[in-house]
Chains A and B, each alone.
Chain A
Amino acid sequence: MTDTTVKLSDAAIRRRMLAEFWFYFSQNRGAVLGLIVFILLVLIAVFAGLLAPHDPTVQYRDALLVPPMWEEGGRSAYVFGTDAVGRDMLSRLIYGAQYSLFIGIVVVSIALVGGIVIGLLAGFFGGWVDTVIMRVMDVILAFPSLLLALVLVAVLGPGLTNAMIAIAIVYQPHFARLTRAAVMSEMKREYVTAARVAGAGNLRLMFKTILPNCLAPLIVQATLSFSSAVLDSAALGFLGMGAQPPAPEWGTMLAEAREFILSAWWVVTFPGIAILVSVLAINLMGDGLRDALDPKLKRS
C-alpha cells in the first residue's frame, strides 16, 4: 500500500496483504462470529461419524416420532427426538451438515470455474465472441433463478447431483459478468500492455497476469453464492426436486416433515434452524470478506 512494498519480496507482499486483510476482517465482529460458526460446521461435517449418536438412516421401530428429550415423552437417547420412521433427528442434522457444505463447495466450484473461463474469453477477445457470450448470459439471467433451476432439474431428473448442476448453471452468469468486467478494466492497465510487449501468450496473459488481479470481487461473489446454493438446494429439496430420501439433507427433511407441521413441531423446526444458522454464518463471513477486500468501502 505504500511505496516501500516495492522493495519487498513476493512472499513478503503476500504476507503483508494477508495481515492487512485479517486486520480489517477481524475488526468485523459479525464476520468473526460467522467464521467461527462456519469452522464449527466444517468440523461437525468432517467428524459426523464420531459426533452423531446414531446412524442417520437407522430406523428405531419402537421410537416413531419421539419428541425431544426435554419435552414430555422425550427420551435421553434421542436428544432432538425422532422422525416418522424412528430415525434420530440429531444424527440426521449432523450428517446434513455434510450435504450442505458439499453442495455449497460443488456448486460454487462449477459456477466459479465455468464463469471465470467464459468471462475471461468474453472480456479478453471482445467483439462478436463477447456479444454472443454475454447475450447467452442475459438469457439465463432473464429467468428467475429458482424457476430455471426447477425446470432444469425436471429435465435432468430429480436428485442431488442434478440439483447441484442446475444451481451451478444458474449462478454461473454472475461470475462470468464479474470476470468480464474486471478483465475489461484490467486490460487497459499498463502492466498488461507491458506483459504483452514482453511477448506473453494469450493463455498466460489471461490466467497468470489478468486473473489474479480480478480475484477480490470473485471471492466475495463466491461466498454469497455459497450461501445461496445452500438455500436454493434446500428449496429444491423442499419441493421434492433435490436430494432424495433417505438422504439427511435439511431441505428434504423439511419436505418429509411437512405433514407433521401440526403434530410434531420438532421435525419441522430443527432442519430450518440448521439451514438458517449455516446460511447466516456464511453471509456474515461474506460481509466481512467484502469489507476487507473492497478498498472503496473499506474506508467509508
Chain B
Amino acid sequence: MKMLTRILVAASALAMTSAMPALAKTFVYCSEASPEGFDPAPYTAGGTFDASAHPIYNRLTEFKKGTTEVEPGLAESWEVSEDGTQYTFHLRKGVKWQSNEKFTPTRDFNADDVIFSYDRQGNAENPWHQYIPGITYEYYTSMAMPELIKSIEKIDDYTVKFTLNTPEAPFLANIAMPFASIVSKEYADALDAAGTREDLNNLPIGTGPFKFVAYQKDAVIRYAKNPDYWGTAPIIDDLVFAITPDAAVRLQKLKAGECHLMPYPAPADIEGIKADASLKLDEQAGLNVGYLAYNTTMPPFDNPKVRKALNMAINKQAIVDAVFQGAAEPAKNPIPPTMWSYNDAVVDDAYDPEAAKAMLAEAGVTDLSMKIWAMPVQRPYMPNAKRTAELMQEDLSKIGVKVEIVSYEWGEYLAKSMEPGRDGAVILGWTGDNGDPDNFLSVLLSCDSAGEGGANRAFWCNEDFSKLLKDAKITADQAERTKLYEQAQVIFKDQAPWFTIAHSTQYVPMSAKVSGFVMSPLGDFTFETVDIAE
C-alpha cells in the first residue's frame, strides 16, 4: 500500500511537469562517456568535465571561448607582483549560486568559496579533503599545485591573494582548468549539517550557465538553463546528455534526430557525414600529438642518426591516410600547430627509404630488429595504434629492420612503457590540458620527467633543451617565451627522440539546425552559446 501511494504521488507530480518539453528548447548532446561524478576536483576525464565543470561551474579565470587565451571569470581582474609570486584577485560581485530542492543559498559567491575550493584539495587537514573515502585530487597534484602554492589569503570578501613559492608563467592558465572550479562553501556546510556530504558530488551546485537536474547512471544527464547566470544566459532551455559510448551508434542517433551534436565520430564515417545535407561538420586541429618514442638510452637507439634513419623510413602520410583516414595533420613538432610558439620553420625528415638505409649503414647498424609497442586502446590522438604499428612494421621491413609488435593491457602498457630498461619504441600521445607549450614540452621531454614515474617515455635528457624550458617557465613575457620554445623545437627535431606521427583533427558532427557551437582547442564541449532552429 505504501509503495502504491508512493507511485501515485510520483505519477501525479510528474503529470504536472511533463507537459513542458514541447515548448522549451531542448538540446541533446550524445556524449561519449559517463561522468565519474559531478565534483570536478577529484576526477581527470574530459567527459567528466564536460558534464560538471563546464556547464555547472566557473573558475577564477576562464579560457576565452574557442581559444587557449585566459580571460576573467569569477575574478574580474588581478594584479601580479613584480617577482611573479603574488597574485591578487578581485572577485566578481553579485554572482548567484544555484539552488536545488534541498538547498537555497542565502548569500552570493565570495572569497570564502574560493579559499574552500582550493583548501579542500591542497590541505589534508581540511574536513572535506576526504569527504568521499578514497578520494584523491590528481589534477591538483599533477599540475604541481601543492609545491607551487604557498598560501591563499582572504583580504576581504571580494579579494583573495595567492602566494607562490616560485614564479610560474602558466599559473593563470592552470587555474582556468576544470579542477580549479569554485564550489559553494555554504552548500558544503549545509550538506555537513544534513550528513549527506557525498551530495556535493551527486547533486552539484555551481555558478555556471546550467543547473543540474538529474542523472541516470550510464544513460542520461539533464540540465536546465540557469536563469540567474552572471554571464550571457544560454539560449536553450534544457540541456540533455545522452550517454552513448559507441561512435557508430552516436552517429545513427544523430542521423535519426535523437541528438543534435556528438563528439568523436569514427574516422571512417567522416566522408558520409560531409555528404549528408541534414548534418554539418565542424573541424579543428586538435591540441594533441601522437608519437613513437624510442628508448634513447638503449643502443643503438642512443644514436640520433639511427633514430633519424628510422624516422625517414616510415611513411607518415600513409599512416595519416590509413589510420586517421586523412583526419589529421602529419606532425613535425612535438606541439600542435594551433598552439602559440609552434615553430613552422622546422623542416620534417622526408620519407626516403634509400637515404634511410644509407644512414643506417653509415651508423654501422646492420640486421636491426626492434619492438614497437602498440597501445590497446583508442585515444583522441591515436585512433588505432595497432594499425599504425602494422604500417610501421611494413615500412621498416623495407630497409631491413625487423619489427615485432607488442601490446599489453592498458594499465600495464602505461606502467611498462615507463620502466627505464624498456625494450622497444612506444606509441603514445598527449592531449593538452591548458594550452601552454610547457604542458607538452616539460611534461613529455624534459630531463625532470625522464626519471622514474615521469611521462618522458623516450627517457631523453638533453641539457640544452631542458635549460630552454626552464628559462621559459619563469619568464612572464609571452614573446620572450615563444623564442625560447621555438629554439627548443629545433633541438628536438635535430635529436629526434620521437617519430612524431600526427596531430589528429577533431571533428564535431551536428545537426544542420544547430548554430552557435564553438569548438574548443582544448577539446571541451560547452553549450551556453548554441541554438537550434525549429
Partners in one complex: yes
Is the CB–CB distance between B409 and A262 below 8 Å? no
Alpha-carbon gap, A258 to B383, bound state (A): 13
Is the CB–CB distance between B248 and A262 below 8 Å? yes
Is the CB–CB distance between B268 and A246 below 8 Å? no
Contact with B along A45-68 (1 / 0, CB 8 A): 000000000000101010011000
Is the CB–CB distance between B409 and A263 below 8 Å? no
Is the CB–CB distance between A157 and B248 below 8 Å? no
Alpha-carbon gap, A264 to B272, bound state (A): 11
- CB-defined contacts of B408 to chain A, threshold 8 Å: 157
- CB-defined contacts of B251 to chain A, threshold 8 Å: 262
Is the CB–CB distance between B272 and A262 below 8 Å? yes
- CB-defined contacts of A65 to chain B, threshold 8 Å: 268
Given contacts A85-B322, A158-B376, contact A263 B269 (CB under 8 A): yes
Question: Is A245 part of the contact surface with B, judged by Cβ < 8 Å?
Answer: yes
Given contacts A59-B390, A84-B387, A263-B268, contact A157 B322 (CB under 8 A): no
User: Smallest CB–CB gap between B520 and chain A, Å?
Assistant: 24
Given contacts A258-B248, A259-B266, A262-B248, contact A84 B322 (CB under 8 A): yes
Q: Considering only CB atoms, which chain A residue lies closest to B318 in the complex?
A: A61
Alpha-carbon gap, A85 to B389, bound state (A): 12
Report which of A57, A59, A158 forms a contact with B409, defined as CB distance below 8 A: A158
- CB-defined contacts of A57 to chain B, threshold 8 Å: 390
Is the CB–CB distance between B376 and A262 below 8 Å? no
**Residues of chain B at interface, number, CB under 8 A:** 24
- CB-defined contacts of B412 to chain A, threshold 8 Å: 157
Alpha-carbon gap, A59 to B246, bound state (A): 27
Alpha-carbon gap, A258 to B247, bound state (A): 9
For chain A, residues 142 to 197, give those with C-beta under 8 angstroms from any C-beta of chain B.
154, 157-158
**Residues of chain A at interface, number, CB under 8 A:** 22
For chain A, residues 250 to 266, give those with C-beta under 8 angstroms from any C-beta of chain B.
258-264
User: Smallest CB–CB gap between A139 and chain B, Å?
Assistant: 26
User: Smallest CB–CB gap between A215 and chain B, Å?
Assistant: 40
A-B contact count (CB 8 A): 54
For chain B, residues 376 to 391, give those with C-beta under 8 angstroms from any C-beta of chain A.
376, 386-387, 390-391
Q: Considering only CB atoms, which chain A residue lies closest to B251 in the complex?
A: A262
Question: Is B252 part of the contact surface with A, judged by Cβ < 8 Å?
Answer: yes
For chain A, residues 220 to 277, give those with C-beta under 8 angstroms from any C-beta of chain B.
240, 244-246, 258-264
Report which of A86, A240, A244, A259 forms a contact with B268, defined as CB distance below 8 A: A259
User: Smallest CB–CB gap between A91 and chain B, Å?
Assistant: 16
Q: Considering only CB atoms, which chain A residue lies closest to B266 in the complex?
A: A259
- CB-defined contacts of B248 to chain A, threshold 8 Å: 258-259, 261-262
Alpha-carbon gap, A85 to B391, bound state (A): 9
Alpha-carbon gap, A189 to B39, bound state (A): 71
Question: Is B407 part of the contact surface with A, judged by Cβ < 8 Å?
Answer: yes
Question: Is B394 part of the contact surface with A, judged by Cβ < 8 Å?
Answer: yes
Is the CB–CB distance between A240 and B376 below 8 Å? yes
Is the CB–CB distance between B322 and A262 below 8 Å? no
Alpha-carbon gap, A258 to B252, bound state (A): 13
- CB-defined contacts of A157 to chain B, threshold 8 Å: 408-409, 412
Is the CB–CB distance between B376 and A263 below 8 Å? no
User: Smallest CB–CB gap between A131 and chain B, Å?
Assistant: 37
Q: Considering only CB atoms, which chain B residue lies closest to A268 in the complex?
A: B248
Residues of A whose CB lies within 8 Å of any CB of B are 57, 59, 61, 64-65, 84-86, 154, 157-158, 240, 244-246, 258-264
Known contacts A85-B387, A85-B391, A263-B271; 7 additional CB pairs below 8 A are A59-B391, A61-B322, A84-B387, A157-B412, A245-B387, A258-B248, A259-B267
A-B contact pairs, 11 of them (CB 8 A): A59-B391, A84-B268, A84-B322, A85-B322, A85-B387, A85-B390, A86-B322, A157-B408, A240-B376, A245-B387, A260-B266
